[in-house]
Structure 1
Amino acid sequence: MEKQRSFFKKLFINILFVIISFLALLPIISLLVSSFRPSSELMRQGISLDINWAGMNLDNYEFIFTQAPEYWQWYMNSLIITGLTIVLSLFFSSMVGYALAVYDFKGRNVIFLMVIMILMIPFEILMLPLYQLFIDLNLIDTYFGIMLPLIVAPIAVFFFRQYALGLPTELMDAARIDGSTEYGIFFKIMMPLMLPSFAAMAILQGLSSWNNFLWPLLIIRSNDMFTLPVGLASLLTPYGNNYDILISGSVITILPIILLFIAFQKYFVSGLTVGGVKG
């Protein structure tokens, strides 16, 4: 009796998760189906799950690959910015979080408190002062200007700090006895132990940078510097909407994030779990 109850409980949970997963994927499925419709039909009916096999074709994708060079320029901009943001953010944020966790120095708690306070402040409040600062630094309409606010992200610093609190300090002491420098301890000993946290933050920071819209919209001036979110949004104008690029381009835009998650999914859950309970 107990086994049957356990079986039906697991079956119910599995069915529930399948339904939830389907509902979560429903917008993406609708977008994928709509990307095969003619642009004229999209303007009349919008995005939906209605499948008209006779009217579906690959014209929208053919248009993107043959007649939309600006889309691929936006795509390349997003790839460059996201790739550099992930690398720089993981490097600097991990070092800051690691230092706040394992070193006892004057002002450590004050710095960590400032990180927490910044986490509580909406970006919209900091946006205008940052914009004025970037004008003074002559970083408007540059890759570095887009990336800089995300390079040392407070959420990444907080996460790495929590994860580093669980690292064995005995390894640090042993390495110091062997003559290793503090940089050597971090890069050769501690960083390999932090790989799950790096994988988790790579996904979260990559997703944040890839979908970043408000800050690039504010700081970008030229069409050649548009990222994908800004570029696709620019297709919606009072004078007409280019659905040929907008819908099919949105489908292609999802692919890098899916590949990023597949690449790091092995460590993603364990990295989030360990980083969330330490400290």
Structure 2
Amino acid sequence: MTSRRFPWRRVPGYAFLTVFALFSVFPLYFMLVSSTNSTREVLGSRLTPGGHFIDNLVALTTQQDLGAAMISSSLIAIGTTVLSLIVCAIAGYGFEIYHSRGKDVVMAILMLAMMIPFAAIMIPLFRIFAQLDMVNSLFAVIIPSIATPLLILLFRQASRSFPYEVIEAARIDGLKELSIFARIYVPTMKSTFAAAAVITFMASWNNFLWPRVILLDNAVQTMPMLIANLTAGYVTDYGVLMLAVLLTSLPTILIFLILQRAFAQGITGAIK
């Protein structure tokens, strides 16, 4: 038997990755630890858990309506994700599968729309929803985010790897276009749907500017708005603030951990 030599050449690379991983994880660790400490301990950069978690939780639920904020953020994020997957998947599928002279022009217009900052269209959007009497409505937050050029492009790129011969065979067998999309295309593109779901859910959950503009009542505030309210006073309780940030971060972390493998496959498949 031949003894394997220790790969000394890889030690610098592993050391660099270890240090980089520690720097990446440290903010999450500090956020977790700080949620159990008092304001003085947080400002003193204490790096060990404390005994103020319950006190911070009681103060948070007393100062803000935590349950309503979680429900509002969940409804907005889930509703936006589901509707975006349906609309953008159909659009991306149509852009690639159906041939038309004008589709490339429409796609170019969508790509140009990505360059327009949201602040430029925020006032016209607010006036539209105000005329529709949809201020303080969660639908006013969901509707502008349903069809995004990024997701349409993601599904279009992924559809290029979908075998067109399968569609032709399904048409010969008598399947309608909607059945082909739902029964053949969707199951084949599970990884792309997972990647799009992660991107959309995170963006919708962390969205702050538009909900802050259209949701004027604190009864329908989202979690990012709740965090902003905690910093609006003269004195900020950083223990309570860190706890709110931790609770806000947990759903996106869980979604990413659950779908991380499919997310990586969906992104690489779209790039190819």
Same fold (TM over 0.5): yes
Question: Which whole-Å CA distance do the structure 1 matches of 2:9 and 2:194 have between them?
Answer: 33
Aligned residue among 73, 76, 82 for 2:77: 82
Contact 1:156 1:201 in 2 (8 A): yes
Look up the match of 1:27.
Answer: 27
Question: Which whole-Å CA distance do the structure 2 matches of 1:190 and 1:110 have between them?
Answer: 25
**CA RMSD in angstroms, aligned pairs only:** 2.1
Question: Which whole-Å CA distance do the structure 1 matches of 2:9 and 2:66 have between them?
Answer: 49
Look up the match of 1:166.
Answer: 161
Q: CA deviation at 1:41?
A: 4.1
* 1:46-105 per-position Cα deviation (integer Å, ceiling 9, x unaligned): 6x3x2366x543234541686456012111111111111111111111111110011012
Look up the match of 1:133.
Answer: 128
Question: Which whole-Å CA distance do the structure 2 matches of 1:116 and 1:192 have between them?
Answer: 27
Corresponding residue SS for 1:117: helix
Look up the match of 2:198.
Answer: 203
Q: Tell me which amino acid in the other structure corresponds to 1:35.
A: S
* 1:96-122 per-position Cα deviation (integer Å, ceiling 9, x unaligned): 111001101242112111111111222
Q: CA deviation at 1:4?
A: 5.8
Question: Which whole-Å CA distance do the structure 2 matches of 1:138 and 1:100 have between them?
Answer: 34
Look up the match of 2:141.
Answer: 146
Question: Which whole-Å CA distance do the structure 2 matches of 1:4 and 1:134 have between them?
Answer: 68
Q: Tell me which amino acid in the other structure corresponds to 1:28.
A: L
Question: Which whole-Å CA distance do the structure 1 matches of 2:107 and 2:39 have between them?
Answer: 52
Contact 2:76 2:204 in 1 (8 A): yes
Aligned residue among 94, 105, 110 for 1:115: 110
What aligned pairs does 1:51-130 form with structure 2 within 5 A after superposition? 51=47, 56-63=51-58, 67=62, 70-130=65-125
Normalised by the length of structure 1, the TM-score is: 0.89
Identity %: 31
* 1:198-224 per-position Cα deviation (integer Å, ceiling 9, x unaligned): 011111111101110111111111001
Corresponding residue SS for 1:240: coil
1:107–1:136 Cα change, 3 Å:
farther
Question: Which whole-Å CA distance do the structure 1 matches of 2:52 and 2:233 have between them?
Answer: 27
1:19–1:52 Cα change, 3 Å:
closer
Contact 2:36 2:239 in 1 (8 A): no
Contact 1:81 1:143 in 2 (8 A): yes
1:9–1:103 Cα change, 3 Å:
farther
Q: Tell me which amino acid in the other structure corresponds to 1:90.
A: L
Could you tell which deviates more after superposition, 243-252 or 150-159? 243-252
Contact 2:37 2:239 in 1 (8 A): no
Look up the match of 1:16.
Answer: 16
Contact 2:76 2:138 in 1 (8 A): yes
Could you tell which deviates more after superposition, 115-124 or 182-191? 115-124
Question: Which whole-Å CA distance do the structure 1 matches of 2:118 and 2:57 have between them?
Answer: 38
Question: Which whole-Å CA distance do the structure 1 matches of 2:37 and 2:156 have between them?
Answer: 48
Aligned residue among 162, 167, 171 for 1:176: 171
Contact 1:100 1:108 in 2 (8 A): yes
Question: Which whole-Å CA distance do the structure 2 matches of 1:243 and 1:250 have between them?
Answer: 10
